[in-house]
Structure 1
Amino acid sequence: MSDKHIDDISGVETTGHEWDGIRELNNPMPRWWVWTFYMTILWAIGYTIAFPAWPLISGSTQGLLGWHSRSDFVADSEHAKAAQNVYLDKIASSSLENIQADSELMQLAVAGGAAAFKINCVQCHGSGAEGGNGYPNLNDDDWLWGGTANDIYTTITHGIRFTEDADTRISEMPAFGEMLKSNEIREVAAYVVSLTGTARDASMVEPGARIFADNCASCHGDDAKGNRDMGAPNLADAIWLKAHGEDGIVAQIRMPKHGVMPAWGERLSDTTVKQLTLFVHSLGGGE
């Protein structure tokens, strides 16, 4: 005698599965679905025979047809590279001024520079080139070493205080904590703050100006607007790289921070350096 349960209403045998008193009917799958399923199996077998499919120790089965999309991809990539090389060769052989004068070539150079910037420069200067604490903002018009295309090219090529490059740009601010008294440093800081704001103690500004003239003007200028030939920053524009606020300026005067930028001329091709230069120059702060 069969112990299989038959549903009283439908007369269909159940599977034996039951949930909360509900039994599952053992209805057969629709024939169209079953034949479709069988066809997908046959299709899969045929595909693995006709095309590369099964992985092996050092490769994969090549299939009877021997076709794969990789060959098409390689062909398309080579075609794209050939098209790019026409412009890249022009960039390589052209001066920055000539590239800027050619709108089509300039557009491609800036696009290439943007891509190179994302790979090599965002770690310090940020994804939007806005910089950060101790790293220059490349969107403004405040440049330590000049913001012309040629100036930017030299900076990228040789870096800043990068000792492995003989032509690197070098500027070293002395540690005035060893030269000035503590109150003199605070007076100088008060004077520097007064150039763009209000010092905490106005009585310190005048003596600070005299100390500045004796110790700082040789690099930062009599008007404190800096000297690009020496990489000395403008102190009268309220743009601060290493320190801001009176206490921060005191700390920078006493024991200055010095950053290092790599020399990219040895790491990247001259074409890429030109593209980076023109991209940075195009951000809006270039001169």
Structure 2
Amino acid sequence: MRNPSDPRALPGADPHTGNRLVDPVTGYDTTGHDWGGIRELNTPFPRIAVIALLLTFLYSVITWILLPAWPTGNDYTRGLLGLDQGRMARDGYQAVDATRQGWLAGFSDPDFAALASDDLLMAQAMPAAARLFADNCAACHGDAGAGGPGFPALNDADWLWGGAPETVAETIALGINATDNSRFAEMAAFDWLEPAERQALVDHVVALPQGTAATDSPGAVLFADNCAACHGDGGTGGLMTGAPSLADGAVIYGQDAAAVRTTLRHGRRGVMPGWSGRLSGTEINLLALYVATLPEAAP
């Protein structure tokens, strides 16, 4: 006889099934395990799971035979369909590039006025130009060309070298202070000034964009003698020679007293690389036309 405490000997056990207790709700046998009155059912593996596993296995075998599946060193098996994803990617790129080359060829001749007047061409080209700008220029000049500390804004009317597309294309190709052939601009250090003179000049330059700079102060005299030759009378700009305006908000390095004092003490010599080694002449023309339109798109 079995021990009466054995759960398999509980009332309802079937002697023909080895005293296994049958669950009266589901009709399944129990395993004989009992956890505080909770009995474990001996349920069969779900048929739907078996079917799903079989279908998954069949699908894997079919795809293994038909599609690329196994690496073979520097290559891989193509399968019965002979698919080559690398070739498919190249074909897709070549198709896109062929379409792109069609309209891009128009920018090989830098007749910027004619290009800008072709609305259909501009609609095709400007999205690609925006991508060129994002890939090559935005890291320094900002996504919308708004500039930042040490980098001039490109979306306003103030240009160091001129904002015509022809001039912008030349700046992009040559760069600034990058090589012997680049545009050259340098702010000399004025550390030879006496501290009192330097402070007077700082005060004058800080007051320029606010419109409160006196014309007969010691700082104004120092500015006229030492700065106006590059920055222009009243600090309104450097006649497209690379010297920025000091009388508006288009300031590259900042125009608070600390920034101006640092500039006077140490000078400035920003560098922009030339892009002729990275971009084609056609791409440079496209990018120059895009940059020249940034002031129009500025809010």
**Which TM-score bucket, shorter chain as reference?**
0.7 to 0.9
The answer to whether structure 1 residue 225 and structure 2 residue 223 are counterparts is: no
Q: How does 1:183-202 map to 2 (within 5 A)?
A: 183-197=196-210
**TM-score normalised to structure 1 length:** 0.85
Task: Describe the superposition over 1:114-172 as per-residue Cα deviations: whole angstroms up to 9, x where unpaired.
Answer: 11122112221222322211111222222111111112111111111112xx3311111
In the other structure, the counterpart of 1:173 is 187
Larger CA deviation: 5-14 vs 221-230: 5-14
Distance 2:57 2:232 in 1: 82
Larger CA deviation: 259-268 vs 70-79: 70-79
Secondary structure of 2:187's match? coil
Secondary structure of 1:177's match? coil
1:18–1:24 Cα contact (<8 Å) kept: yes
Letter in 1 for 2:259: G
1:191–1:208 Cα contact (<8 Å) kept: yes
Q: Quick one: higher RCO (CA 8 Å, sep 6+), 1 or 2?
A: 1
The answer to whether structure 1 residue 138 and structure 2 residue 140 are counterparts is: no
Letter in 1 for 2:281: D
1:160–1:168 Cα contact (<8 Å) kept: yes
The answer to whether structure 1 residue 52 and structure 2 residue 60 are counterparts is: no
In the other structure, the counterpart of 1:88 is 104
Against the structure 1 CA distance between its residues 206 and 18, is the aligned structure 2 distance closer, same or farther, given a 3 Å change threshold? farther
In the other structure, the counterpart of 1:246 is 257
Larger radius of gyration: 2
Aligned length: 281
Against the structure 1 CA distance between its residues 72 and 215, is the aligned structure 2 distance closer, same or farther, given a 3 Å change threshold? closer
The answer to whether structure 1 residue 126 and structure 2 residue 113 are counterparts is: no
Letter in 1 for 2:264: I
Distance 1:249 1:40 in 2: 71
> Percent of pairs identical after alignment?
37
Distance 1:51 1:203 in 2: 80
Question: Per-residue deviation at 1:89?
Answer: 1.6
**TM-score normalised to structure 2 length:** 0.82
1:159–1:264 Cα contact (<8 Å) kept: yes
Provide the alpha-carbon RMSD of the alignment: 2.8
Against the structure 1 CA distance between its residues 36 and 177, is the aligned structure 2 distance closer, same or farther, given a 3 Å change threshold? closer
Against the structure 1 CA distance between its residues 18 and 185, is the aligned structure 2 distance closer, same or farther, given a 3 Å change threshold? farther
Q: Which runs of 5+ in 1 are unaligned?
A: none
The answer to whether structure 1 residue 148 and structure 2 residue 148 are counterparts is: no
Letter in 2 for 1:187: A
Q: Which runs of 5+ in 2 are unaligned?
A: 1-16
1:14–1:25 Cα contact (<8 Å) kept: yes
Larger CA deviation: 272-281 vs 22-31: 22-31
Larger CA deviation: 182-191 vs 102-111: 102-111
1:188–1:211 Cα contact (<8 Å) kept: yes
Against the structure 1 CA distance between its residues 210 and 24, is the aligned structure 2 distance closer, same or farther, given a 3 Å change threshold? same
Distance 2:151 2:227 in 1: 23
In the other structure, the counterpart of 1:264 is 275
Against the structure 1 CA distance between its residues 204 and 72, is the aligned structure 2 distance closer, same or farther, given a 3 Å change threshold? closer
Against the structure 1 CA distance between its residues 273 and 203, is the aligned structure 2 distance closer, same or farther, given a 3 Å change threshold? closer
2:159–2:240 Cα contact (<8 Å) kept: no
Question: Per-residue deviation at 1:206?
Answer: 0.8
Against the structure 1 CA distance between its residues 249 and 24, is the aligned structure 2 distance closer, same or farther, given a 3 Å change threshold? same
Q: How does 1:31-50 map to 2 (within 5 A)?
A: 31-50=47-66
